[in-house]
Chains A and B, each alone.
Chain A
Amino acid sequence: MTGSRGLRSWLTTTDHKRIGLLYFYTAFAFFLVGGLEALLIRAQLARPNGTVVGAETYNQLFTMHGTTMVFLALMPLSAAFFNYIVPLQIGARDVAFPRLNAFSYWVFLLGGLFLNASWIAGPVFRAGVLNVAPDAGWFGYANLTERQYSPGPNVDFWMLGLQILGVSSLAAGFNFIVTILNLRAPGMKMMRLPTFTWMTLVTQFLVITAFPVITVALVFLMFDRFFGAHFYVPQAGATPLLWQHLFWLFGHPEVYILILPAMGIVSEVLPTFSRKPLFGYTVVVYSGVLIGFMGWGVWSHHMFSVGLGPIADSVFSATTMLIAVPTGVKIFNWIATLWGGTIRGTTALHFAVGFIAMFIIGGLSGVTHASPPADLQQTDTYYVVAHIHYVLFGGTIFGLFAGIYYWWPKMTGRLLSEALGKLHFWLTFIGMNLAFFPMHLIGLLGMPRRIYTYAPDLGVSSLNLVSTIGALLIGVATLVFVVNLWRTRSHGAPAPNDPWGGATLEWAIPSPPPPYNFSVIPTVASRLPRWKTEHHDPMPDPPAAPPAPVHVPGGSWWPPVAALGLPVLALAPLTHHLWLAFLGVAIMLYGIYRWAFEPFEI
């Protein structure tokens, strides 16, 4: 059952490294889909009174672009690194629950396919193709999402798809918390954990606390839509504002779920390529933890235009400004890490420095809308679109690309081309600034977000054209990256154990690592085990072959089977066939039953 090649070995794998690669390729495919949606959006807005797509299609495009990028691209791209890198950084053989890990991946894949199936599912619902994809925005404000105002299956796809994806995130969240707390190698104290692992830990605590909140909000919505409940119906005495509070109570921690892993990556890349330890490791770690806590106290800054009253606005404004302090501290620590180093300008370093440069802009525009009166002119305009893209593209995606160039040799055994990498970086850097910087002005000049058309006399036509050109450039850059990935498969230079001179444990073992990771579990004596510091000599690398055979658990069919039950269950309310619900539950229970009683020592 445990062949190392072939489709079956991938379907049944429980190896964190293979699951990491599956996460990467799947999330990257969704990233391309979300990018294509973005290009269509930009094509429509290139000129005033655009006619590339109609209103209904456009509303589906921006909804799916946001939903795809947040839930199907950025979060699982981070998860690719959690999976691949975290067990290596803490000196473990795998995650704590390898089959649960496989389950998380399969649920993610199936949830993503379920959501995207809405693009082509129109005929099933007697509607045209391109008619039933979600269309209420990625934060789906009630009461527009009620059956009365959104009668089609569009919102059903969205609400059921997100619930499926929530299961995946929660399972992974618990898995990584247990892994990081319990599977550390001897001597790997908490304050010796690599920064990326630390930020992963904070992120997973945010996941397991934030996702239940959106699940509750979605279950309320599901009851409203399918069973005639009135959680968000003002005519029944309820309030649609309940959705906004629940969504943003999840939504703001979600922002940190998206950015903290990238901050962790940057905190690994900068020290390696400046040949200096991370400046103020303790402060960077604690500020990450602090951001995780403070992220729970700022949600209503998404709601300043609601009119919650001056007291609520003042409080949420103050907490939001406070969160800028630990964020600013991190930026200064990164610059201080570079300061006095010998900086090697690898592609990974380019993206890491690009992250800092762009994140500063996103942070500063964030401060301008932490001020409620100013935000009243900015919220729901392109100014906010500019802000979110400086944070999530200039921030998260730059951070993730830094991680890809940094860890790809470890993950595949081959080095990505640095020349193509630099080209990729500069095209992305120029493209993103052309695409997103004009949006600040477009918003200040009065163009709201989420409009499929605008009048020429708004005066923002040329700025929109510039933005579209920038988006195209990002598209070209992404193609360069795809070429780089493809070329590297056969032509990439073979990677040694440690191509960069890294300080952390993953560089002590072969690239790619053997299934058991470490021939001998290392004993860690310092925060930078592979570097010489004042008190410690570099740790010796583990022997090339294990002294005794290492048992590696085999694969299992039951995680993917159990995962399959969820989308089948979700099809039941979508198509109004009760028997599908029983079938879905039966598949899931059978999968879990076999999984529970599976002899794992195959």
Chain B
Amino acid sequence: MPRFRPWLSPLLPLALAVVACGGPFPQSTLRPRSDFAGAVDQLFTSIFWWAIIVFVVVEGLLCYAVIRYRHREGRPAPRPVHGHTALEIAWTLAPAVILVFIAVPTMRTIFATAGEAPPTALKVEVIGHQWWWEYRYPDLHIVTANELSLPVGRPVQVSITSADVIHSFWAPALGGKRDATPGYVTRIAFRPDSVGVYSGQCAEFCGASHANMRLRVLVLRDSAFQAWVRRQQAPAAAPPRGSLEARGRDVFAKSACIGCHTIDGVSKGIIGPTLSHVGGRATIAAGLFPNDSPHLARWIANAPSLKPGALMMQMPVAGADLTAVIAYLQSLK
């Protein structure tokens, strides 16, 4: 008769850890790159080891009991034990004591990561939309989308809300997620400690393309961040008269594009992301595709085929007009 062998199960995590090794894991929660993410990771690690200790002890007792007391011929009938008060008090207190060791650092971390940054912090407003992210820097008068640029080493105060349904803003390397709830402004605060590009995505189911609501956070050296700020604060590039880009701007201005998108000096739509500096972004469609000509062409022609449910309609722009629009958008650095 095959016996129960759960002592093999601790080997499973080991095997999976081997499987999981290799690859850069751009969205891992286990590689904190900010004070917030670091505090969370530290807390999780300590709870994890408590859990491992409890797991080994309790599963060990269970396995021992199942093997040691299995039925064998000729064993006397067991004593009908109904309970043992001291023992039961002991194993009520033991988990309670362990929980104190988990609860105290938990409470400390809750208040330490309650979302309040010092007043000098860089202020960023995050607004969730179906299915993209709008970022506003109120003090810098910058509005952008999907790719959030931050300076390294400076505290950031993030205020989060939504324009439609509930989303959740999550860039794991920089900290825990926070829901974007319409009608509410919630806050997180963190200080990025390493330069890099960190990926994240919406973490609350928000409709058809929830899976396609991704984001990137670019943590830049201070000089690079200042350069980025200057580019964003500059007016949208005006193409030279007679150029391909100028034709693109004219096509854009005469198309339905202007109903949804803003380009400084050209259009004032607010339904879709601003395109004033879209050429400076590395990805389009909320982190889904590289910002290159083939993807832009497919996106403009038929966005819903690339992103189910996308509100952007199929645009009747083709041929030379399409090429011109793409050239124009790419010129908006």
- Interfacial residues, chain A to chain B (CB-CB below 8 A): 54-56, 59, 136-137, 141, 143-144, 149-150, 234-235, 239-241, 274-277, 279-283, 305-307, 309-310, 313-314, 317-318, 321-322, 324-325, 328-329, 331-333, 335-336, 338-345, 350, 353-354, 356-357, 360-361, 364-365, 367-368, 370-381, 422, 426, 433, 437-438, 441, 444-454, 457-459, 462-463, 466, 531, 533-534
- Contacting pair A335 B82 (CB below 8 A): no
Chain A residues in 8 Å Cβ range of B206 = 144
Q: How far is the CA of A17 from the CA of B9 in the complex (A)?
A: 39
**Is B59 close to A, CB under 8 A?**
yes
Shortest Cβ gap from A455 to chain B (Å): 8
- Contacting pair B202 A373 (CB below 8 A): no
- Contacting pair B172 A446 (CB below 8 A): yes
Chain A residues in 8 Å Cβ range of B37 = 377
* In-complex Cβ contact of A377 among B1, B4, B177, B202 (8 A): B177
- Contacting pair B205 A279 (CB below 8 A): no
Interface string of B184-213 (1 = CB under 8 A from A): 101100000000000111111111111110
- Contacting pair B58 A335 (CB below 8 A): yes
Q: How far is the CA of A397 from the CA of B114 in the complex (A)?
A: 39
Q: How far is the CA of A463 from the CA of B17 in the complex (A)?
A: 10
For the complex with contacts A274-B69, A373-B39, A373-B109, 20 further pairs of A-B residues with Cβ separation under 8 Å are A55-B308, A141-B205, A143-B166, A275-B77, A275-B78, A281-B83, A317-B103, A329-B88, A335-B65, A336-B84, A342-B78, A365-B51, A374-B44, A376-B40, A378-B29, A444-B28, A445-B27, A445-B30, A458-B25, A533-B80
State whether A374 and B47 are in contact (beta carbons under 8 Å apart), knowing that A283-B83, A339-B65, A357-B6 are contacts in the complex.
Answer: yes
Shortest Cβ gap from A231 to chain B (Å): 13
Q: How far is the CA of A444 from the CA of B209 in the complex (A)?
A: 22
Q: How far is the CA of A368 from the CA of B44 in the complex (A)?
A: 7
**Is B164 close to A, CB under 8 A?**
yes
**Is B96 close to A, CB under 8 A?**
yes
Chain B residues in 8 Å Cβ range of A328 = 91-92, 94-95
Residue of A nearest to B164 (CB): A149
Q: How far is the CA of A307 from the CA of B30 in the complex (A)?
A: 22
- Contacting pair B186 A307 (CB below 8 A): yes
Chain B residues in 8 Å Cβ range of A426 = 2
* In-complex Cβ contact of B83 among A279, A441, A462 (8 A): A279
- Contacting pair B16 A372 (CB below 8 A): no
- Contacting pair B168 A380 (CB below 8 A): yes
- Contacting pair B13 A240 (CB below 8 A): no
Most buried by B among A309, A322, A360: A360
Q: How far is the CA of A340 from the CA of B12 in the complex (A)?
A: 29
Most buried by B among A322, A335, A452: A335
Shortest Cβ gap from B324 to chain A (Å): 31
Q: How far is the CA of A309 from the CA of B50 in the complex (A)?
A: 26
State whether A279 and B81 are in contact (beta carbons under 8 Å apart), knowing that A310-B110, A325-B92 are contacts in the complex.
Answer: yes
Chain A residues in 8 Å Cβ range of B66 = 338, 343, 353
Q: How far is the CA of A322 from the CA of B28 in the complex (A)?
A: 30
- Contacting pair A340 B81 (CB below 8 A): yes
Q: How far is the CA of A356 from the CA of B2 in the complex (A)?
A: 18
Q: How far is the CA of A534 from the CA of B79 in the complex (A)?
A: 10
Instruction: Report, as a range, how many residues of chain B touch the other chain.
Output: 35 or more
* In-complex Cβ contact of B88 among A283, A341, A354 (8 A): A283
Residue of A nearest to B25 (CB): A459
Q: How far is the CA of A131 from the CA of B25 in the complex (A)?
A: 35
Chain B residues in 8 Å Cβ range of A336 = 81, 84, 87
- Contacting pair B4 A353 (CB below 8 A): yes
Chain B residues in 8 Å Cβ range of A283 = 83, 88
* In-complex Cβ contact of B205 among A54, A239, A450, A453 (8 A): A450
State whether A54 and B308 are in contact (beta carbons under 8 Å apart), knowing that A360-B58, A380-B168 are contacts in the complex.
Answer: yes
Chain B residues in 8 Å Cβ range of A450 = 205, 210-211
- Contacting pair A59 B208 (CB below 8 A): yes
- Contacting pair B203 A448 (CB below 8 A): yes
State whether A371 and B106 are in contact (beta carbons under 8 Å apart), knowing that A283-B88, A306-B181 are contacts in the complex.
Answer: yes
Q: How far is the CA of A371 from the CA of B46 in the complex (A)?
A: 11
Residue of B nearest to A374 (CB): B44
Q: How far is the CA of A123 from the CA of B172 in the complex (A)?
A: 43
Q: How far is the CA of A306 from the CA of B168 in the complex (A)?
A: 9
State whether A357 and B65 are in contact (beta carbons under 8 Å apart), knowing that A306-B179, A350-B4 are contacts in the complex.
Answer: no
Q: How far is the CA of A137 from the CA of B12 in the complex (A)?
A: 30
**Is B178 close to A, CB under 8 A?**
yes
- Contacting pair B110 A342 (CB below 8 A): no
Chain A residues in 8 Å Cβ range of B82 = 277, 279-281
Chain A residues in 8 Å Cβ range of B29 = 377-378, 381, 444-446
- Contacting pair A372 B106 (CB below 8 A): yes
Most buried by A among B79, B170, B202, B203: B203
The list of the 3 closest CB pairs from A to B, nearest first, reads A376-B176, A446-B27, A234-B183
- Contacting pair B27 A458 (CB below 8 A): yes
Q: How far is the CA of A77 from the CA of B102 in the complex (A)?
A: 36
Q: How far is the CA of A354 from the CA of B62 in the complex (A)?
A: 10
State whether A466 and B9 are in contact (beta carbons under 8 Å apart), knowing that A275-B78, A279-B81, A340-B78 are contacts in the complex.
Answer: no
Q: How far is the CA of A329 from the CA of B13 in the complex (A)?
A: 26
- Contacting pair A345 B40 (CB below 8 A): no
Chain B residues in 8 Å Cβ range of A446 = 25-29, 172, 199-200
**Is B273 close to A, CB under 8 A?**
no
Q: How far is the CA of A137 from the CA of B182 in the complex (A)?
A: 19
Most buried by A among B25, B61, B106, B114: B106
Q: How far is the CA of A160 from the CA of B172 in the complex (A)?
A: 38
- Contacting pair B65 A325 (CB below 8 A): no
Shortest Cβ gap from B269 to chain A (Å): 20
State whether A335 and B62 are in contact (beta carbons under 8 Å apart), knowing that A279-B81, A305-B203 are contacts in the complex.
Answer: yes
Chain B residues in 8 Å Cβ range of A350 = 4
**Is B99 close to A, CB under 8 A?**
yes
Could you list 17 examples of A-B contacts with CB < 8 Å? Answer: A239-B181, A276-B78, A277-B81, A279-B83, A310-B110, A329-B95, A332-B88, A335-B61, A353-B62, A360-B55, A364-B54, A364-B55, A371-B47, A378-B29, A380-B177, A380-B204, A453-B212
Chain A residues in 8 Å Cβ range of B23 = 457, 459
Q: How far is the CA of A444 from the CA of B309 in the complex (A)?
A: 28
Shortest Cβ gap from A139 to chain B (Å): 9
Q: How far is the CA of A534 from the CA of B200 in the complex (A)?
A: 64
**Is B175 close to A, CB under 8 A?**
yes
Chain B residues in 8 Å Cβ range of A433 = 9, 12
Q: How far is the CA of A462 from the CA of B48 in the complex (A)?
A: 24
State whether A356 and B211 are in contact (beta carbons under 8 Å apart), knowing that A144-B165, A332-B91 are contacts in the complex.
Answer: no
Residue of B nearest to A283 (CB): B88
- Contacting pair B113 A240 (CB below 8 A): no
**Is B43 close to A, CB under 8 A?**
yes
Shortest Cβ gap from A366 to chain B (Å): 10
Q: How far is the CA of A462 from the CA of B179 in the complex (A)?
A: 30
Residue of A nearest to B105 (CB): A371
- Contacting pair B308 A280 (CB below 8 A): no
Q: How far is the CA of A276 from the CA of B69 in the complex (A)?
A: 11
- Contacting pair A380 B203 (CB below 8 A): yes
**Is B70 close to A, CB under 8 A?**
yes
State whether A374 and B43 are in contact (beta carbons under 8 Å apart), knowing that A317-B103, A335-B58, A338-B65 are contacts in the complex.
Answer: yes
Most buried by B among A241, A328, A361, A448: A448
Q: How far is the CA of A449 from the CA of B204 in the complex (A)?
A: 8
Shortest Cβ gap from A371 to chain B (Å): 4
Shortest Cβ gap from B110 to chain A (Å): 5
Q: How far is the CA of A448 from the CA of B204 in the complex (A)?
A: 8
State whether A345 and B203 are in contact (beta carbons under 8 Å apart), knowing that A361-B55, A433-B12 are contacts in the complex.
Answer: no
Q: How far is the CA of A449 from the CA of B206 in the complex (A)?
A: 12
Q: How far is the CA of A445 from the CA of B37 in the complex (A)?
A: 14
Chain A residues in 8 Å Cβ range of B59 = 357, 360
